[in-house]
Amino acid sequence: MANNYYDATGVLVLDQVTPVITALFGGLKLDASYPGDGEVYIALIAEEGGAHWDDICEDLVSLAQSLGLSVPNEDTPTMDDVLAVLAGHFGADQDEELQNLIEHHCFEDGADLDASFLIATRFDDGHNLQEIRFESCWYCSKPRLFNFGGEGSFISREFTVFGNSGQVLKLGSDIRQALLIHDLEAAAKLFAQETQRMLAGIADETQRQQLQRRLSELLR
């Protein structure tokens, strides 16, 4: 029998660790003392738990109560409940991205970094979170084919990008097959799709359009 594992480490780039940061990222082995210079360590280690939405919800409820805010308590407060209360406190109750997250995210099981980042940036209690850099790997206790790999995540307000080794393998294979049969149209579409994926990570639409035009000029 083989076991599969997933480990990851990374940093939050911010001014200081605050109650909001602790509530959202405390489950990721948050270490405010390392590595320093505006970077704070986070990690996800196999079989050692991690950041789960249920735990984050409890921590956010405690945070709201410490701020003197009233959270619905007829039943167990939900993430929707506490996020709505905190959004009002931090003046983010009209933020479209946050409201869309509240309406459509299921907030179940493990917490995803991009959602946590969005929440943190709307509930800024002095942390000024600017970036998340996260690098992870998955591996097997037996040397099975394609049971090993890695991925990276870069998250910021201005630009976000994700990628993993599996994507590289598929992209390489698809482009090679197109080149073998001299289907340059198919190869070009694959390059365009990868470029569009990168461009989609730019938050500012004007900058995204300007960069797309500039890329077209450079590729002439």
163-174 pLDDT, tens digit per residue, is: 999 999 999 999
Q: CA-CA distance, 196 to 12, in Å (whole number)?
A: 27
Name the DSSP letter for residue 111.
Answer: P
Q: Which tens digit of pLDDT belongs to each residue from 125-158?
A: 999 999 999 999 999 999 999 999 999 999 999 9
Closest Cα to residue 27, out of 105, 109, 85?
Answer: 109
In this prediction, residue 74 carries a pLDDT of: 65
Cβ contacts of 196-202, under 8 Å, gap ≥ 24: 198/161, 201/159, 201/160, 201/161, 202/158, 202/159
CB count in 10 Å sphere of residue 23: 26
**Side chain identity at 207, as an amino acid letter?**
Q
Q: Please say whether the beta carbons of 124 and 90 come within 8 A.
A: yes
In this prediction, residue 180 carries a pLDDT of: 98
In this prediction, residue 13 carries a pLDDT of: 98
CB count in 10 Å sphere of residue 113: 23
Domain map (residue ranges) of the chain: 4-157, 165-220
